[in-house]
A and B are shown apart, each in its own frame.
Chain A
Amino acid sequence: MTAAARTLPPRGVQALAPQRRRGTTPADLALLLVGACFLLPLLWLVLGSLDPQAGHETRVPHQPGLENFAAVLTPELLLRPLWNSVVLSAGTGAVTLVAAVLAAYPLSRYRSRFDTPFLYAVLFGTCLPITAIMVPVYGLFVQLELLDSMPATIFFMATTTLPMAIWMTRNFMDGVPVSLEEAAWVDGASRMAALRTIVLPLMRQGLGVVFIFVFIQAWGNFFVPFVLLLSEARQPAAVSIYSFFGQHGAVAYGQLAAFSILYSLPVLALYIIVARWSGSSFALSGAVRG
């Protein structure tokens, strides 16, 4: 998916209008059918990971065991790629957050002719299909000799998530009253000091949401590191799982499933944290608010 709009969901519970609390059976059945269809493709992943003789088909393992997990839990196969994913995603999150906070502050606190065009230009940036940009980015990286460089890849990935992050951060910052900062200015604090000591602590949960949001996107990104990082030692899990599949996939479906599950668990956990933190107030922040 593009950086554009994998926005955070609202919490589900308030969705129910009070007068409909009891629910109707036909709606339940229809929904359960839809839900089953959505779970079916994931069933193979779970059953296959526990089945040492797994193939394409979904079946209950004859002799379920954790052999697949043991087989992929080696430094080269899983741990190094996962570490690379951590570095890549955390680096992207940090760069994005710093740039987004700095950009959001003047946009949130001052009014000028510059604000609206800038924000719409940023929003336009979220619309560009990132996969289309990858061929030119590869060409650019070749000319600047940045191919296979972890920092350059981090800066590029940070840029692709930056537009959305600026919108979200500005919305959170708008929620912090200016009066609190004014008191600090009276005491002689500079604008940047007030931002650091007053505004940021007050919006730390929002900052956490932005960071995790960027982290999840970077963690799941396959195409960007696939094109920009060439050496095996630097590739994140998304790319190494793909090469693993190409080399051993035909024989080791169980291991592929086990690898997939271990690689997916961190983002599922982070997603649950964000979903609990974020109330409906910011549900679909930024661009999605039509």
Chain B
Amino acid sequence: MLLSHRARQLVRYLPVLPAVLLLLVFLAGPVLWAFQASLTNAGLTGRSARNPEWVGLENYQRLLTDPVFPLSLGLTVLFVGGSAVLGQNLLGLAIAVLMRRARPAVASLVGTAVVAAWVLPEIVAAFAAYAYFSKDGTLNQLLGALGFGRPEWLYAFPMVAVMLANVWRGTAFSMLVYKAALNDVPTEVTEAAQMDGARGWQRLLFITLPMIRGSIATNLMLITLQTLAVFTLVWVMTAGGPANASTTLPILAYQEAFKFGDIGYGTAVASVLILIGAAFGVVYIRLLKEPRA
């Protein structure tokens, strides 16, 4: 019982050990392994699978010359910017604002519909989106009934299709964040503005939005990170095609590693993605650390 202060503190924190071990082995381990493997010619099968050779920065040099990589990076930025930062974020905010003005029954009904797309297992959501955008799918049935053409969405406009599908799938998250945030805005403030003659959109733009800016920043970071990692939706709908027209970075990393059997190059792509995620993660944590003004 005569343990020093330091030893006692160590014993107290002993229960953290299982969690730390899991995180080190299955999270930190693969990340470090990725950076190391991306410097080798590791393959999926054959000699290079058993004895990968050190190739230095060759895989990264290949990234710079491979025409698919910049395309994929651009498509990822388009996918995240279009479907998360603009699509999910603005639509989620709009729904949350409208819900406060609508009848409670309507608000809860529509809230359920939006959340339903989000709660479904991702593979089911992906199948539903695939059927919806296919040639004879629901969307073309609607467009046909309204007298428009029936384009082959998944072949002619694959990025539009997967971005709309991701807005459908993910908007619920932003909606829930903004619903909670708007709840915390004291009504006296908006009422005072109303007395001063501010219109509805003026109150939203100059009073409400500045007051929930913390939630907006947090939401933007989180949906960016989520959308950066979307694989299943794109994989089922287009598999990155046609001809790489919707190959976002997760799809590219998967294809290089498992379809073309080049683990080394695949992990180089994955490492870039991990670094992008880590950069956003650092910004996100800085945002959380800041005392809220």
- Write the residues of chain A forming the contact surface with B, with a CB cutoff of 8 angstroms: 1-2, 4-7, 9-10, 12-24, 27-28, 30-32, 34-45, 48, 55-58, 95, 98-100, 102-103, 105-107, 110, 112, 114, 118, 120, 122-125, 127-140, 142, 155-156, 158-160, 162-163, 166, 191-192, 216, 219-223, 227, 238, 241-242, 245, 253, 256, 260, 263-264, 267-268, 271, 280, 283-284, 287-290
Are A19's CB and B187's CB within 8 A? yes
Given contacts A130-B229, A242-B236, A136 and B267 within 8 Å (CB-CB): yes
Are A23's CB and B101's CB within 8 A? yes
Given contacts A103-B19, A166-B19, A290-B215, A35 and B113 within 8 Å (CB-CB): yes
Given contacts A34-B114, A131-B231, A162-B22, A15 and B99 within 8 Å (CB-CB): yes
Number of interface residues of B (CB under 8 A): 117
Given contacts A31-B98, A38-B114, A223 and B231 within 8 Å (CB-CB): yes
Are B23's CB and A135's CB within 8 A? no
Residues of A contacting B141 with CB < 8 Å? Answer: 57-58
Cα–Cα distance between A21 and B258 once the two chains are bound (Å): 56
Residues of A contacting B229 with CB < 8 Å? Answer: 1-2, 4, 129-132
Are A288's CB and B177's CB within 8 A? yes
Are B138's CB and A44's CB within 8 A? yes
- Write the residues of chain B forming the contact surface with A, with a CB cutoff of 8 angstroms: 9, 12-13, 15-20, 22-23, 25-27, 29-31, 33-34, 37, 42, 49, 91, 94-95, 98-104, 106-111, 113-124, 127-129, 131-132, 134-139, 141-142, 168, 170-173, 176-177, 179-183, 187, 191, 214-215, 217-219, 222, 225-226, 228-232, 236, 249-250, 253-254, 257-258, 263, 266-267, 269-271, 273-274, 276-278, 280-282, 284-285, 287-289, 292
User: Can you report 28 residue pairs joining A to B where beta carbons are below 8 Å apart?
Assistant: A1-B226, A9-B176, A16-B100, A17-B187, A20-B101, A23-B106, A31-B102, A34-B94, A34-B110, A35-B114, A38-B171, A45-B128, A57-B141, A58-B138, A102-B17, A103-B19, A122-B23, A124-B282, A132-B34, A132-B229, A132-B271, A132-B277, A135-B266, A136-B34, A155-B26, A221-B122, A241-B123, A263-B121
